[in-house]
Structure 1
Amino acid sequence: MAVKAGRTHYTVTYSVLVVAVGAYALLQSMVAPVLPTIQAHLHSSESATAWLMTSYLLAASVATPILGRVGDVVGKERMLVVTLLGLATGSLLAGLSHSIGMMIVARVVQGTGGAVLPLSFGIVRDEFPSAKVSGAVGVIASLTAAGGGLGLVLAGPIVSHLDYHWLFWFPMIATAAAAAATLVFVPASPVRGAGGVSRPGGLLLAAWLVTLLLAVSEGQSWGWDSAGVLGLLAATVVLVPLWILTELRAAHPLIDMRMMRAPAVWTVNLSALLFGVVMYTCTTFMPQLLQTRRSVAGYGFSADVTASGLYMLPLSAAAFAGNVLAGRIGGRLGYRGLLVAGSLLSVPPFVLLAVAHTESWQVCTAVTVAGTGLGLAFSAMAGLVIEAVPAGQTGVASGMNANIRTIGGAIGSGIGASLLAATVTTAHPLPADTGYTRLFWFLAGAAALATLAATLVPRSRRAPAPGAAVPDPVGALPDRGSGHADNSGTAPRAADL
């Protein structure tokens, strides 16, 4: 692909990135509340239908850091086009699917779209004026929480007035348009990472991610003490140190282990893991609680898919509000302060739900406060990672942070499913209300641990005050004061790194 002759204004680039990340965020959540509908239409079993989420999760966890690294090396805008085309292709296949097998394949292809986030963060860092980087990254990061909540809202009307295939047609149109716009408007990456991509590192990373996530995703259905789950966990224990050793010895590692062990990186990644537990588990099981018929189970809200989505609407609105709030108070608190504040805000809503979840106001209050906390925390984590790593590693570092959040979501969803399943009996096939109480206490505990992890983040860097420049940790970035970076497309010199 030829390097573009001029630099597109960063606001145009930003518009393209917002559409791309928004479409990906919607795909993450729109499928979950309508799984029973898809199961009925495809005449599938419940266990097979669950693979629509598991396969997507596995593919995203493998593709996100690998494609993020490839983007750092060959050009972020090139890989963004590839990733968006993958999302569009997966959505096309899902829209045409009339069997569960084909739908699972489509979801695997869609999962490669997880790389949209790290690639977008890297492009923002390359193209934006320094003073605007933190705000732009914060909005994009918050889209993952806000878009996830919005997907729960839109799923019901789409299925009711059209059919479930349109859950994929709409994102396909959006991602295809974003891919075309990226090709035309997004400039070639002016900052490249050195070296190539470690294939052994990539294969081992994929291997241990698959064994770990498959174990935690299927633990409830296979049995946590089953030979399959124990075997997968044992394989993970062997593969992780082998992967770390391979990466340490590689001339050009996929993941720089020295970077990963830096205090400013591993502490934020620990926070991401715990926030993944909170966010994904909440958005997975809250609609289930809302759709439970009170006349049958003795609890729940008897909501249909559309109504349960409306209950979750405050989550999306509050996530955006949290992002706006982050922009206003970030200069005083710093990224670390924002992360601590967001973590603290995430504890009370789940304590409230654990104590009482029988009234609409309780649910709406809880998801509003939780959404605000997520908006603050997601903005802070993205900014902290970008500040902590060299420009040429933005994609892989951001990808790994997003990936760790996904791992947290898988772990949280597995534990949540087990907590609910433990209360199911032959006489009462639905989970007991005590199962949800335990689930919410578990999420409150995870949020409390996220607060503790946030306090471990080093205090050395602060978010910029309004109009101030973001400190460049490596001094390698081109001058972005006018939004027109060097477009040579060549890798930075060693002296610049």
Structure 2
Amino acid sequence: MTAPLERRTDYRVTFAVLCVGVGSFSLLQSMVNPVLPTIEAALDTDQATVTWVLTAYLLSASVFTPIVGRVGDKVGKERMLVVALAALTVGSLMAAVATSIGVLIAARVVQGVGGGVLPLTFGIIRDEFPRERVAGAIGTAAALLAVGGGVGLVIAGPVVNALSYHWLFWIPMAMTAVAALAAAFWVPESPERTPGRINVGSALLLSAWLVALLLAVSQGHSWGWSSARVVGLFVAAAVLLPTWVIAESRSDEPLVDMRMMRIPTVWTANLTALLFGAGMYAMFAFLPQFLQTPESSGYGFGVSVTESGLLLLPQTVASFVAGVLAGRLAHRFGSKRMLVLGAALTALGTLSLTVAHDEIWQVVAASTVLGLAFGLAFAAMSNLVVDAVPQTQTGVASGMNTNIRTVGGAIGSAVLASVITAQLEPTGVPVESGYTHGFAVLTGFAAAAAVVAAFIPVVRATTHLVAGPQTEAETGDEAEVASGVSRA
């Protein structure tokens, strides 16, 4: 039963709590990347081992994002939001006090449980917000993921220089602790829940194929793409993935409803997420490296970690502005058009970097365009998925979309690493053509995402649930969507 309306927390207070949680999670995704050499030296480890600080977080977040989202649909999104934020807090505390690389890697696994923050946030927004405010709120929350990624790159250097790398975990720990307490007191209990039990077998199968695939993709470059370990993991993923799909299709209580995944809007948005993630996350990873390449190489700018972060600050600001405006733009033009525009702008920005990267202003201008693209696309993609599924499946649908985008990011980063490092100078720095070819590959990913997004079916208005005209992002035959029946 839904609590009486007058007793429920004001949705703006709820939104503030959700934004703190999403912001903290996104910071933890990116702040560690620029300072891996510092952590390597401080903990007396090697490069191959320290990369597990990123890999462990990637694997854990990928596994737990859809699972926590689904559990939230069943037992209550508010409860699972507190659990996810508590995991981020505990994991950050472990990382902040870690004195060995093993403890730090374990801490990152615990932090990965917090990946469920994003799908839970979308579900709570859909439950609690006035319908006319949902698109804008989801857009802002989704944009915070891109913004947090940019902010992490900007502040990592100054924080480490002024304090130490430990503060890259103390700061998010404080934020998530406050958000967890606030969520426990001020985020209302979920009015919509899915009955039934949690399908543990499906969760294990989902975890198995995700770990096999992402481990092979993320470690293929260092282990060797033809090595027995990588080939074996790919084979395992190829067997486990269809096994999971078949098991879910036959289950009376699936973890992820395959009928929902077959809704045209959902699967085309997920395919777009895969392609878009391949370009976006790879750009986050390699553009700072490009800026930091010594000028002696003939193409780099030789800036410091801090300076490269500041050069990418316009990208972060652009992402936030685009995310805030995305809701209004979607209301006027539709989320599908915003997603196509975001993917097209991504292709434009990466193409610009491919053909013109000799001056700093060229890189800053291109990255700013990418910031606008990321903000628009994140918001539009999330709105399309949330609006296409029944309210009781918002968490798991959003979680799978986020997860597929993460898988795309892992694939894109692996492909880009192979392309960029295919030929090295005697100093060990990639030759300029490696980056040129890498940016061209990202252009291809983005262009493909724009093409797929153009074919996402539009759900046209058939009912008027709020006063005034509705758009594709805010309308649809509720009965038809809820039953999982698709229409073009």
1:410 match: 410
1:391 match: 391
3-state SS of paired residue (2:8): coil
Q: Following TM superposition, by how much is the alpha carbon of 1:294 offset from its aligned partner in structure 2, in angstroms?
A: 1.2
1:486 match: none
Q: Following TM superposition, by how much is the alpha carbon of 1:328 offset from its aligned partner in structure 2, in angstroms?
A: 3.4
- For 1:428 and 1:160, how far apart are their aligned partners in 2? 26
Choose 193-202 or 467-476, whichever is displaced more: 467-476
- For 1:452 and 1:343, how far apart are their aligned partners in 2? 9
Q: Following TM superposition, by how much is the alpha carbon of 1:137 offset from its aligned partner in structure 2, in angstroms?
A: 0.5
Deviations along 1:298-335, one digit per CA (max 9) or x if unpaired, are 22111111101011111111111212332332223211
Q: Following TM superposition, by how much is the alpha carbon of 1:356 offset from its aligned partner in structure 2, in angstroms?
A: 2.0
Q: TM-score, normalised on structure 1?
A: 0.92
1:436 is matched by which residue type in structure 2? Y
3-state SS of paired residue (2:7): coil
- For 1:124 and 1:455, how far apart are their aligned partners in 2? 27
3-state SS of paired residue (2:51): helix
Q: After the TM superposition, which residues 280-295 of structure 1 pair with which residues of structure 2 at under 5 Å, given as runs? A: 280-295=281-296
Question: RMSD of aligned C-alpha atoms?
Answer: 2.1
Q: Following TM superposition, by how much is the alpha carbon of 1:249 offset from its aligned partner in structure 2, in angstroms?
A: 1.1
Number of equivalenced pairs: 475
3-state SS of paired residue (2:190): coil
1:471 is matched by which residue type in structure 2? T
- For 2:466 and 2:369, how far apart are their aligned partners in 1? 25
1:232 match: 233
2:458 match: 459
- For 1:180 and 1:473, how far apart are their aligned partners in 2? 38
1:354 match: 354
Q: Following TM superposition, by how much is the alpha carbon of 1:291 offset from its aligned partner in structure 2, in angstroms?
A: 1.3
Q: Following TM superposition, by how much is the alpha carbon of 1:279 offset from its aligned partner in structure 2, in angstroms?
A: 1.3
Using a 3 Å threshold, how does the CA distance of structure 1 residues 327 and 420 change in structure 2: closer, same or farther?
same
Choose 217-226 or 191-200, whichever is displaced more: 191-200
- For 2:56 and 2:448, how far apart are their aligned partners in 1? 28
- For 1:8 and 1:446, how far apart are their aligned partners in 2? 42
Answer whether contact 2:420 2:434 (CA < 8 A) is retained: yes
Deviations along 1:315-369, one digit per CA (max 9) or x if unpaired, are 1111112123323322232111111111111111111111121211111111110
- For 1:74 and 1:475, how far apart are their aligned partners in 2? 24
Mapped pair 1:370 → 2:374: no
Q: Following TM superposition, by how much is the alpha carbon of 1:182 offset from its aligned partner in structure 2, in angstroms?
A: 0.2
Answer whether contact 1:330 1:465 (CA < 8 A) is retained: no
Using a 3 Å threshold, how does the CA distance of structure 1 residues 385 and 210 change in structure 2: closer, same or farther?
same
Q: After the TM superposition, which residues 95-494 of structure 1 pair with which residues of structure 2 at under 5 Å, given as runs? A: 95-295=96-296, 297-424=297-424, 427-461=426-460, 470-471=474-475, 474=478
1:6 match: 7
Using a 3 Å threshold, how does the CA distance of structure 1 residues 181 and 353 change in structure 2: closer, same or farther?
same
Q: Following TM superposition, by how much is the alpha carbon of 1:424 offset from its aligned partner in structure 2, in angstroms?
A: 2.2
- For 2:132 and 2:256, how far apart are their aligned partners in 1? 28
1:29 match: 30
Answer whether contact 1:94 1:106 (CA < 8 A) is retained: yes
1:447 is matched by which residue type in structure 2? A
Deviations along 1:18-65, one digit per CA (max 9) or x if unpaired, are 100011111111000111111111111001011111110000000000
- For 1:384 and 1:61, how far apart are their aligned partners in 2? 21
- For 1:263 and 1:354, how far apart are their aligned partners in 2? 33
- For 2:171 and 2:272, how far apart are their aligned partners in 1? 33
1:456 is matched by which residue type in structure 2? F
- For 1:147 and 1:467, how far apart are their aligned partners in 2? 34
1:474 is matched by which residue type in structure 2? E
Q: Following TM superposition, by how much is the alpha carbon of 1:6 offset from its aligned partner in structure 2, in angstroms?
A: 2.4
Answer whether contact 2:137 2:327 (CA < 8 A) is retained: no
Answer whether contact 1:391 1:476 (CA < 8 A) is retained: no
Answer whether contact 1:271 1:450 (CA < 8 A) is retained: yes
Answer whether contact 1:22 1:147 (CA < 8 A) is retained: yes
1:158 is matched by which residue type in structure 2? V
Using a 3 Å threshold, how does the CA distance of structure 1 residues 129 and 309 change in structure 2: closer, same or farther?
same
Answer whether contact 1:194 1:392 (CA < 8 A) is retained: no
Q: After the TM superposition, which residues 51-62 of structure 1 pair with which residues of structure 2 at under 5 Å, given as runs? A: 51-62=52-63
3-state SS of paired residue (1:346): helix
Uncovered stretches (5+) of structure 1, i.e. residues with no partner: 478-491, 493-497
1:371 is matched by which residue type in structure 2? G
Uncovered stretches (5+) of structure 2, i.e. residues with no partner: 483-488
Bigger relative contact order, structure 1 or 2 (CA pairs below 8 A, ≥6 apart)? 1
Answer whether contact 2:335 2:380 (CA < 8 A) is retained: yes
Using a 3 Å threshold, how does the CA distance of structure 1 residues 62 and 461 change in structure 2: closer, same or farther?
farther
- For 1:468 and 1:351, how far apart are their aligned partners in 2? 38
Q: Following TM superposition, by how much is the alpha carbon of 1:147 offset from its aligned partner in structure 2, in angstroms?
A: 1.1
- For 1:97 and 1:154, how far apart are their aligned partners in 2? 21
